[in-house]
Amino acid sequence: GVTQSPTHLIKTRGQQVTLRCSSQSGHNTVSWYQQALGQGPQFIFQYYREEENGRGNFPPRFSGLQFPNDSSELNVNALELDDSALYLCASSLLLAGAMITQYFGPGTRLTVL
Amino acid sequence: AQRVTQPEKLLSVFKGAPVELKCNYSYSGSPELFWYVQYSRQRLQLLLRHISRESIKGFTADLNKGETSFHLKKPFAQEEDSAMYYCALKVGYQKVTFGTGTKLQVIP
């Protein structure tokens, strides 16, 4: 399955944070989402075969990496209070642009004080 | 820019009654539409996608391009259907836009 670490995290404004995701074996795509309380997930970006190939309306201080060993990272620099949210990663198998399967992780709850 | 609207935050129905969760989208091209579900204390999961024309757990959804809608329907609600439901729109290979979600409450 898809796992994320840590489960919860508390940071202060201006700090940097790295969130981690372990994808489903055999999947070639990982997407990251930010979900504020009471809202639907918002697409941050997507990595396909270790390269970013899609991005939502998030500033460059949100960056990511995808590694060949089914792991990936979301990095956020210069944290702001509004970055407090649940961060979800989704592992997918894309073939010819079509999503065959997709599984979400349980999320990391980030609180910025 | 694409947008997904789920007009109801909460939908309460009695067990055995029909369910319709509304989803409207705005996008000028050919979208891919999905429904996701999140049961209490569980992770988000894909329920169904319009290209598959499938029925999952008794739920179906038809894409109506004229009305730009993708409503989720089930003829007879069950208590285990109580959950949060999200409609989502995918543009191209990457960008996915979610609605704000509808909480379905099935009353026994």
Query: Mean pLDDT across the stretch B67-72?
Result: 94
Summary mean pLDDT of chain B = 92
Q: What is the pLDDT of residue A70?
A: 86
Q: Which residues of B touch A98 (CB under 8 A)?
A: 51
Q: What is the pLDDT of residue B92?
A: 73
Q: What is the pLDDT of residue B19?
A: 97
List pLDDT tens digits, range A23-74: 998 898 999 999 999 899 999 999 998 999 889 999 999 999 999 888 999 9
Q: What is the pLDDT of residue B50?
A: 84
Q: Please check whether residue A64 is in contact with residue A85, taking contact to mean a CB–CB distance below 8 angstroms.
A: no
Res B1 pLDDT > 90: no
Number of cross-chain residue pairs from A and B with Cβ atoms under 8 Å apart? 49
Q: What is the pLDDT of residue B56?
A: 87
Contact A99 B95 (CB under 8 A): no
Contact B93 A103 (CB under 8 A): no
Q: Which residues of A touch B93 (CB under 8 A)?
A: 48, 53-54, 94, 97
Residues 14-73, chain B, touching A (beta carbon < 8 A): 32, 43-46, 49, 51
Q: Out of B92, B95, B98, whose CB is closest to A41?
A: B98
Tell me how many degrees the CA angle B48-B50-B54 measures, rounded to the nearest 5. 55
Banded model confidence at residue B94, pLDDT cuts 50, 70, 90: low
Contact B45 A104 (CB under 8 A): yes
Banded model confidence at residue B52, pLDDT cuts 50, 70, 90: confident
List pLDDT tens digits, range A82-106: 999 999 999 998 888 778 889 999 9
Banded model confidence at residue B83, pLDDT cuts 50, 70, 90: very high
Question: How many percent of chain B have pLDDT more than 70?
Answer: 98
For CA atoms A43, A106, B38, B10, the dihedral sign is: negative
Q: Which residues of A touch B86 (CB under 8 A)?
A: 40-41
Q: Which residues of A touch B101 (CB under 8 A)?
A: 39-40
DSSP codes of every residue in A80-113:
-GGG-EEEEEEEEEEETTEEEEEEE---EEEEE-
Contact A46 B94 (CB under 8 A): yes
Q: Which residue of A has its CA nearest to B84?
A: A40
Tell me which range, A27-31, A49-53, B18-22, B61-65, is most confidently predicted by mean pLDDT.
Answer: B18-22
Q: What is the pLDDT of residue B65?
A: 87
Q: What is the pLDDT of residue A100?
A: 80
Q: Which residue of A has its CA nearest to B5?
A: A40
Q: Which residue of A has its CA nearest to B102?
A: A40
Distance CA B59, CA A101 (A): 18
Banded model confidence at residue B93, pLDDT cuts 50, 70, 90: low
Q: What is the pLDDT of residue A5?
A: 97
Query: Mean pLDDT across the stretch B17-36?
Result: 92
